[in-house]
Amino acid sequence: MILLEPGNRILGEVVSNVIMPAGEEKRDALDVRLCDFDDVTYRVQVEKGGNSIKVSMSCPCYHQIEEHGAKASFEKAFGAHSVEPESPYHLAVSIDFTALKDEAEKTAMCKKLSLFKSITVGGIFGQYFDALTAKKESKPHKFDLRGDTTVYLVPKNDRVTLVYEVNFSDKVDKCVAKVFMQEFVDSKKKLGSAPPMAYNVNPPQELKSFGVTENNGALGYLSFAILPRHVADEKKKDKAIKTLTTFRNYIQYHIKCSKTHFHSKMRFRASELLKVLNRAKAANPKDKKEKKTASGRTFKRN
């Protein structure tokens, strides 16, 4: 299995080319718009002759998680650089080039900007994990990670249960996803240190507090039980947050990889069958070809 990068590589490259240009320190005016997973969009702006770069992000689920850790996580990472965003964007930062002293600081800022979405969306997970390790009470919450995926967070005294209500629009994707998610659960049994997880077509018991008692058209429900040992230190917590924020994209990526593998196998099989059919073609009896005798004389059969 391949884990996806938590950051946006294109955003990181655009920002890096501006903050750390190759060759002479010359920066032209720039206005780049790009997209990310989960319907997230960015805008990168640099004014001509200016000394700052502005990065704006639009995240459809931001208002659902703003007061549940997303805003706090954003301010912790970019508080000093935060500026008022333009519509339709939800968050924006402005970085002054002259304030970045050396290459190490510039590299760190480029990496942080590439993680713009991961830092913001991961804030809600971080808040619940911090409450778990501090043994504080938290209220259940849900948010729509994307149009076809809802995330439920159910805190308890000894764990935080995360439930992904997942669906797919394509029929083939649904078939492949069912098999993939079941195999994903089975393979987890071989990993003793990984969080307990389960997949079911029907809603788990934890969703009764949200009034969800039956499946309303979703493909299924994936549940993760995050225990204190999984987020015991900052390194483990950071890894858990990055993995959970990219989990839906992880499923989508491997479904597309599986479909590509199936298609390549089918094309290869079809090509081999065509070779067999071509070898099985009978010679046309109407074609009169020259024949040779044992002595080398030629003749045509009438």
| Residues 105-157: tens digit of each pLDDT | 999 999 999 999 999 999 999 999 999 999 999 999 999 999 999 999 999 99
Q: Give pLDDT, residue 289.
A: 62
Q: Give pLDDT, residue 72.
A: 96
Confidence of residue 228 (pLDDT cuts 50, 70, 90): very high
Confidence of residue 183 (pLDDT cuts 50, 70, 90): confident
Residue appearing with tokens 């971080």: 126
For residue 132, CA distances in Å to 44, 155, 159, 270 come to 37, 8, 7, 55
All structural domains of the chain with their residue ranges: 9-120, 137-257
Whether pLDDT at 64 is above 60 = yes
Does the structural domain 9-120 have CATH classification 3.90.1170.50? no
Crossing angle between the packed helical segments 116-133 and 70-78, to the nearest 10 degrees: 120
Q: What is the mean pLDDT of residues 245-263?
A: 91
Q: Give pLDDT, residue 99.
A: 86
Confidence of residue 189 (pLDDT cuts 50, 70, 90): low
What pLDDT digit, counting tens, does each position of 260-295 carry? 999 999 999 999 999 988 888 776 665 556 667 777
Both tokens assigned to 200 = 């079911």
Mapping DSSP to helix (H, G, I), strand (E, B) and coil, where does residue 41 land? Answer: strand
pLDDT averaged over every residue in the chain: 89
Q: Which fold has domain 137-257?
A: Yope Regulator; Chain: A, (3.30.1460)
CA dihedral 93, 94, 95, 96 (to 10 degrees): -160
Whether pLDDT at 80 is above 60 = yes
Q: What is the mean pLDDT of residues 15-19?
A: 91
Mapping DSSP to helix (H, G, I), strand (E, B) and coil, where does residue 136 land? Answer: coil
Strands 160-166 and 197-200: unpaired
Q: Give pLDDT, residue 54.
A: 96
